Amino acid sequence: MARSFANRRRLFGGLLAAAGFAALMIMASPPIAASAKADSSPVETVQAVNEALLHVMQNAEKLGFQGRQDFLAPVLTETFEFSAMARLAAGRYWQRFSDEEKRELVARFTDLSVSTFAARFDGYSGESWQIEGTSEAPRGGTIVQNRLITGKGNVIAINYLMHRTEAGEWRIIDVYLDGNISELALRRSEFNSVLRNGGVRLLFDQIAQQVDRLSGQAIQTN
């Protein structure tokens, strides 16, 4: 494995904010529109992510960073609601963007998210996934209690907050590392700091730089 599992616990970035953020944001937001399978369940959606991540872990060296990106992109795009996540991460600044800027932010947010998964799931040492169950979240949402079991038997909680779209599909709208640390809250903090001090073009530039760093780090360790 290219790097220790302890380092790969940072796969979602330095998640620092309170877990309640995303749930509160969903309560304040209108239902999310999406065209997708209406018969999916929260557990099935997370199972699809787990299977894809296990595949890229087991084939990490063969695939390389670009191959992992290419494999994960369609799966994550179908299981995450990146458009809503980008909007929530931008906060009050979203309404100030032009339509073109909104589309670009969604595209860049998606690229950053896929690149993060591709960079961090870069090897395999006997890991496996286990879904322990579900619990209710505000406004009809669901939390899927998901566990990554290391080859040494250590258990790490990587839970997913799910939201049902108007089309009836369950999609992921936040990730809780160690069970309660919100990725979306961190993104919002990062994005709002940049938007407050430099504007949307600077945010786009910084996201691009993050993706470049992830790619470079992955190439060095593969």
Question: From the centroid of its chain, how far is CA 200?
Answer: 21
State which residues form the domain around 216.
5-221
Per-residue exposure over 81-90, b if at least 16 CB sit within 10 Å of its own CB, e if not: bbbbbbbbbb
Alpha-carbon radius of gyration of the chain: 17
What gap in Å lies between CA 1 and CA 62, rounded to an integer?
12
pLDDT tens sequence across 42-98: 999 999 999 999 999 999 999 999 999 999 999 999 999 999 999 999 999 999 999
pLDDT tens sequence across 26-37: 444 444 433 345
Whole-model pTM: value is 0.84
Strand order in the sheet with 142-149: 17-18, 181-182, 170-177, 155-164, 142-149, 128-136
Query: The domain that contains 119 carries what CATH number?
Result: 3.10.450.710
Query: Domain total for the chain?
Result: 1
What gap in Å lies between CA 94 and CA 200, rounded to an integer?
10
Q: What are phi and psi of 41, to 5 degrees?
A: -120, 160
